[in-house]
Structure 1
Amino acid sequence: MIDYRIDADGIATLTIHVADRPMNVLNHASIAAFDAAVKQAIADPAARGVIVTSSRPEFVAGGDLDLIRHIRTAEESFAAGGPFSRTLRTLETSGKPFVAAINGSALGGGLEICLACHRRIVADDPKIQLGVPEVTLGLLPGAGGTQRLPRMIGIKAALPYLLEGRKADPAKALEAGIVDEVVPAAQLLERARAWLLSDGAKSVVKPWDGKHFKFPGGAPQTAGPTQIFFAAGGALLAKTQGLQPAPEAILACVYDGCQVDIDTGLRIEQRQFARLATSQATKNMIRTLFYDLGEANRLAGRAKDVPVRKFSRVGILGAGMMGAGLAHVSALAGLDVVLLDTTQASAEQGKAYGAKILDAQVARGRLAQAQRDSTLARVKATTEYADLAGCEIVIEAVFEDRAVKAEVTRRAEAAMSADAIFASNTSTLPITGLAEVSARPGQFVGLHFFSPVEKMPLVEVIRGAQTSEATIAHALDFAKRIRKTPIVVNDCPAFYANRAFGMYAYEAMTLLGEGVNPALIENAGRMAGMPMPPLALIDEFSVELLHKALKQARIDQGSAYREQPQDAVMEVMVEQLGRLGRKVGQGFYEHPAEGGKRLWPGLATHFPLAAEQPTLEEVRDRLMYAQSLEAARCVAEGIVTERDADVGSLLGWGFPSVLGGVLGQIDTVGPGRFVERCDAMARRHGERFEVPPALRELAARGGFYRAT
């Protein structure tokens, strides 16, 4: 795993190559090999200096999460992470100069190797990324990252990298002081070798090991950094509501560890790392955000016997916000796009939506003008269905009206190639019913994107009753082509995401109708870790949209429709008051044109407060458990798999990652306790909290993720 070579000038080179993994990662074997190579170089009397580099495209991609996934105790954590931290400390205090020749991305433990070296030289490649992004998976840099980075570049500069997982390309890393040189890739090893042979390599005591070390920007206990910690702590609490242990542990490492010598700081870091490695929140995040999300992005559920389909041209029907967003992301992915609407002006307006996004990126220096122009040139705005010829896939994104969708389906299919796929971006209407007008129902599929398309990573691939397995596979190929994460969902009204997520909004309106203080409802949603409070969220996408879905459900189900508790609230807001949400400046909140919003005082008139108010915990549980129950029903009905249910909840509507997703919440609470709590809520609040038999049986067996 580590190749050790020494040349005639006494320059040793340690070349990292973890052959049994797709990338260079740090695990038990590679850590042991690196430790042995470092000690060999230190002990070798012929070695006057050491280069650490990689023979693979990346330097080191970080730690192998299998190393952490199965840690159960603090002792296991110390045994897993302690040796690597000690190796790096041995390296930097050895008296021999070590230089990191960074040929590719160095992330997590990879960058920690570089920070321990006495000089860092990186290849001039903008694709290279340097950072310590462990916080995004509920961890912290456990081999000195929380101690060396603040000592190198100052506490204020280091915190965004540590708390946010920020990454830097070589130019930004040089500007920040994370690396010492940026050189052409072809000169990387020679430049590293030249430094080791220079006078600069003769004194290799790290600044923090010297007698007169001073923190750049001031020590933690001085006025400036103290204010930084206060501000960071307050911002952190506001952002995470105290639900995410990793940022808090990182802040504690920096605050406590940087007030003592570095060896003590490293021990503090190891203790905080153990706290995270053994926490349920971290295990939830690793499972869903790394393993499950990785499987979804690799299309692990795709039929293996269906050849991969290449896409070069896509047709989009409807140039509203959704269609325009689809056109933009498709063009950005290199596809030619036919954007069709009823008038040329509407089609051009949809194209202009993408132009506005691209222009903003050019203005910020994130995109070259030539790239902006070439991307926009891929979009053809038109009113002619004949222009759909040659499209491998056509996606309708018109109004949620069956008649309108039927009309565009017939007209599009008449112009499409025989082997092309037709997809509907409907958010609620069952695909099987929409496909009844299709001349090729086997090639008819649902592709439910989330708004705004350019920002939301998820797409639901919906299988209708006659959709072929090849069409599902090719729809997954298309999702990957435009850089979206797909989940496969079987057909039903509202599909999976809107069914489960809708319960958040519905329960909030039910609570309001019961007389619960709207401020209590909003605070409960916020403190549960949801991206937005529920009533504010409803205002964003408009209560009118939910009301239309309600009316459609009544039409579809006829006499079988059963009134729901939230129905009356929607009727008051839409039909009586015309308070449709932010788009008209008034909903559950007031949205003045000059900005700022507040809960509408008139809510108390139309939904009088009950004399007795529930506890914050009860409101929170109703908002959160309602989502998990509906997701569990979807799994029991075969609508979605457990993996896709959790991935979909994190990417589709921002369910708290520390819970691992809507199903992960059940295991985190404890399956037995979850069922018991739902039973109590069902007795008090109604049948929507009744536990499906499949979930009750699963709870008795130990939960969804008992194996992990």
Structure 2
Amino acid sequence: MSEYTYEKDADGIVTVTFDAQDKSANTMTFAWLDAMEEMIESLKAEEGLTGVVLASAKKTFFAGGDLDFMLNSTQTAQEMYDYVERNKAPFRAMEKLPVPFVAAINGAALGGGYEICLACDHRIVVADPKAVVGLPEVTLGVLPGAGGVCRMVAMLGLEAALPLLAEGKQLRPDAALTAGMVDAIVETQDQLIPAAKDWIKANPKAGTKPWDKKGFKYPGGDATAPNVRMAAAMAPTMLYGKTRGLMPAPEKIVDIAVNSMRMGFDSALRAESRGLVALLRSPEAKAAIKTFFFGMQAVKSGKIRPEGAPTKFKKAAVLGAGMMGAGIAWAQAYKGLETVLKDVSVENAEKGKAYSNALADKRIKRKRMTQERKDGLMDLITPTDKDADYKGADIIVEAVFEDINLKAKVIKESFEMLADDGIYGSNTSSLPISVLAEFCPDPTRFIGLHFFSPVDKMKIVEIICGKQTSQETLRKAYDYVAQIGYIPIVVNDSRGFFTSRVFATYLDEGLALMQDGVSPVAIERAGWKAGMPVGPLAVHDEVSMELTRKAWETHKELDERLGEDSAFGKDNAATRHIGHAMVDLGRRGRKDSAGFYDYHADGTKTLWPELSQFVVEDRDVSIEDAVDRLIYRQVIETLRCLDEGVLNTETEANIGSIFAIGFPPHTGGALQFIHGKTKDLFLARAAELAEKYGARFVVPEGAIAKMFDSEQKAA
């Protein structure tokens, strides 16, 4: 078959090498399934068969299931169940053959790829950090449906298997060996198949799985063992604390994992299939697959990148060694990019470099970095107070304080240090790039690069194109962001761009709820129930209301300077009323130990009891309305960004809203949220909110039409 090669050696060992034609990775397509069924029949008919090695001709071992088919299938539940059962049948047939199977794992084996390995008797992986193994299906809203749940529990025991299954952990070779997910590691790929054959020769009778032997006992105790019963009882509560009941996949995984120990193995496999089918039909799974798999795939593969040859950056400069600049320097050096970190004094620049030193030390303590790796990283960061030290840089990232006059001065003075074909990026959260470009000698080479704080954890960059930014500059900026390992989303220039505009609506609606008589506790609870990482009042304190007011004043100055009345924050009246009043009261946020919360010496915090002074009218807002108001404000502002051309694609809207803003991930993102609700139900609910609470909930008709017209054209 075209999906694999089949070779039998003189010792009776067959090596099956997966090699899907016209594809960069092996996946569980219908062609592969036909090939697997044929392969099993060939092995059954083989005379003198002593063992089987499963290998791969691709860079990865096996990529997993056919998610495109699963997402877009029109099959009935019964048809999908039959398909899932057919998919996993070859694995059970492998276990029934009386010869040992060995997986020779040369690269990533994830999802269905690792489930193939689980059906083998022995797993050998190459010592390559890219050769990760795991079952990440839960992150896509589904569960391992080719025997992964049942086999992991049977192989490792419930207590060891649950975290790997319910969290979708992906482990590198050393960690996988420690966890029991692989059995051996070899140094080079050339050693894989010989090592697999040697194991088969040394273990000729290893062809029967432990769970198929009489008297099999689960590692760590069976379903009646006290420790297992305690783990099973605690798991739902612990899960709810993490998922808030918004993600059905982890709960389904726990249910099947626990109950798999109480029934026969084949019955457990069927229960697993039913669980997968139920999840596949859920809006959460469809949203996750669309955004976290296909959306991320589109970004990482460069589908939204301008065409042209890739750019490799060798030298970078970061101007400003404060929190943002220090974080950007870390991100660059971590990926091997030589970085000059410049500030007004060497002392300040050294402090910025010390930030990277502290981050590296934390990783060493957690055994995620070696001292040698740290030394190499630190050598790449050069602190300085001299412009000449970064002359010839391929990219300059200006990361000084969010003040237009300061940025104008820095841009003018530093641009000439760029290499002739270099680009200049400004790290700003809301200042118009087209305005900042006026201070740049060549505005075609100027672009916005909005990093998020803390930079070492927020792995996304909003790339902002000014009116004169060239496509070549955009392409280079895209390549720079990808080179340092961050997610690039591209937007067009606007006050607040995309992320700051939308995030501001979440903060403002929290205060609007306060004006409408909702208790501060209920406001924070509504944010939690919606799926946001932190309640809006807590976020206000973290951001600092003083900074919010300064940003507002900056935009007022810009309006006067440009002779315009910008739309930035025009609906955020509650923020202006309450947030500015809080600053006047000296309650600016967490840094001052006083904001919407009081911050105590023991590290705890409690809501400030005087917040009732900001109630305008008690409108008896239900918790359902409070939750929807927090979410719909963000979704509608995202639609406005799409309508105005600030956003280019739904994919970037969804990924940006989740990774930059913290929009509830179970929805698949701010625009996918609409698909999950369906257009008609979304519009009806928005109209209801607009009638009750105001025009800020009116949906821009053009954006909705743009979303669904383009979807129909694609279909």
> Which TM bucket (shorter chain)?
over 0.9
* Distance in 1 between residues matched to 2:695 and 2:575, nearest whole Å: 14
Letter of the 2:623 partner, please give it: L
Residue number in structure 2 paired with 1:192 = 196
1:14 alignment partner, one of 16, 20, 29: 16
2:597 alignment partner, one of 582, 589, 599: 589
1:386-425 to structure 2, matched below 5 A, reads 386-425=388-427
Distance change (3 Å), C-alpha of 1:609 and 1:692? closer
Residue number in structure 1 paired with 2:47 = 45
Letter of the 1:552 partner, please give it: T
Residue number in structure 2 paired with 1:78 = 81
Q: Which deviates more from structure 2 when the two are superposed, residues 537-546 or residues 348-357?
A: 537-546
1:234-253 to structure 2, matched below 5 A, reads 234-253=237-256
Residue number in structure 1 paired with 2:557 = 555
1:84-103 to structure 2, matched below 5 A, reads 84-103=87-106
* Distance in 1 between residues matched to 2:644 and 2:466, nearest whole Å: 15
Task: Give how far 1:542 is off.
Answer: 1.5
Structure 1: gaps spanning 5 or more residues: none
SS at match of 1:556: helix
1:487-636 to structure 2, matched below 5 A, reads 487-557=489-559, 560=565, 564-575=573-584, 577-604=585-612, 606-608=613-615, 611=618, 613-636=620-643
Q: Does 1:122 align with 2:130?
A: no
Q: Does 1:210 align with 2:213?
A: yes
Whether the 8 Å CA contact 2:516–2:618 is kept in 1: the answer is: no
* Distance in 2 between residues matched to 1:685 and 1:567, nearest whole Å: 18
SS at match of 1:18: coil
Whether the 8 Å CA contact 1:413–1:439 is kept in 2: the answer is: yes
Whether the 8 Å CA contact 1:77–1:273 is kept in 2: the answer is: no
Q: Deviations over 1:613-655 (max 9, x none)?
A: 3111100110000000000010011111222111111211221
Structure 2: gaps spanning 5 or more residues: none
Residue number in structure 2 paired with 1:693 = 701
Task: Give how far 1:533 is off.
Answer: 1.4
Task: Give how far 1:296 is off.
Answer: 1.5
Q: Which deviates more from structure 2 when the two are superposed, residues 184-193 or residues 236-245?
A: 184-193
1:256-655 to structure 2, matched below 5 A, reads 256-304=259-307, 306-557=308-559, 560=565, 564-575=573-584, 577-604=585-612, 606-608=613-615, 611=618, 613-641=620-648, 642-655=650-663
Task: Give how far 1:420 is off.
Answer: 2.5
Task: Give how far 1:376 is off.
Answer: 0.8
Q: Deviations over 1:38-66 (max 9, x none)?
A: 22112212312222222333221222322
Residue number in structure 2 paired with 1:2 = 4
Whether the 8 Å CA contact 1:123–1:182 is kept in 2: the answer is: yes
Whether the 8 Å CA contact 1:221–1:259 is kept in 2: the answer is: no
Letter of the 1:159 partner, please give it: L
Residue number in structure 2 paired with 1:161 = 164
Q: Deviations over 1:110-169 (max 9, x none)?
A: 211111112223334343211111111112111111001111111010011101111222
Task: Give how far 1:11 is off.
Answer: 1.4
Letter of the 1:120 partner, please give it: R
Task: Give how far 1:389 is off.
Answer: 0.7
Q: Which deviates more from structure 2 when the two are superposed, residues 555-564 or residues 272-281?
A: 555-564
Distance change (3 Å), C-alpha of 1:673 and 1:410? same
Q: Which deviates more from structure 2 when the two are superposed, residues 210-219 or residues 143-152?
A: 210-219
SS at match of 2:663: coil
* Distance in 2 between residues matched to 1:402 and 1:553, nearest whole Å: 10
Whether the 8 Å CA contact 2:639–2:704 is kept in 1: the answer is: no
Whether the 8 Å CA contact 2:50–2:204 is kept in 1: the answer is: no
Task: Give how far 1:560 is off.
Answer: 4.2
Whether the 8 Å CA contact 1:154–1:218 is kept in 2: the answer is: yes
Task: Give how far 1:101 is off.
Answer: 2.4
Letter of the 1:521 partner, please give it: I
Whether the 8 Å CA contact 2:515–2:616 is kept in 1: the answer is: no
Task: Give how far 1:696 is off.
Answer: 5.0
* Distance in 1 between residues matched to 2:6 and 2:489, nearest whole Å: 45
SS at match of 1:127: coil
Whether the 8 Å CA contact 2:139–2:167 is kept in 1: the answer is: yes
Whether the 8 Å CA contact 2:158–2:258 is kept in 1: the answer is: no
Normalising by the residue count of structure 2, what TM-score does the alignment of the two structures yield? Answer: 0.95
Normalising by the residue count of structure 1, what TM-score does the alignment of the two structures yield? Answer: 0.95
Task: Give how far 1:201 is off.
Answer: 2.4
RMSD: 2.0
Q: Does 1:150 align with 2:153?
A: yes
* Distance in 2 between residues matched to 1:284 and 1:520, nearest whole Å: 28
Letter of the 1:572 partner, please give it: A
Distance change (3 Å), C-alpha of 1:177 and 1:423? closer
Letter of the 1:43 partner, please give it: A
Whether the 8 Å CA contact 2:252–2:275 is kept in 1: the answer is: yes
Whether the 8 Å CA contact 1:388–1:412 is kept in 2: the answer is: no
* Distance in 2 between residues matched to 1:609 and 1:238, nearest whole Å: 34
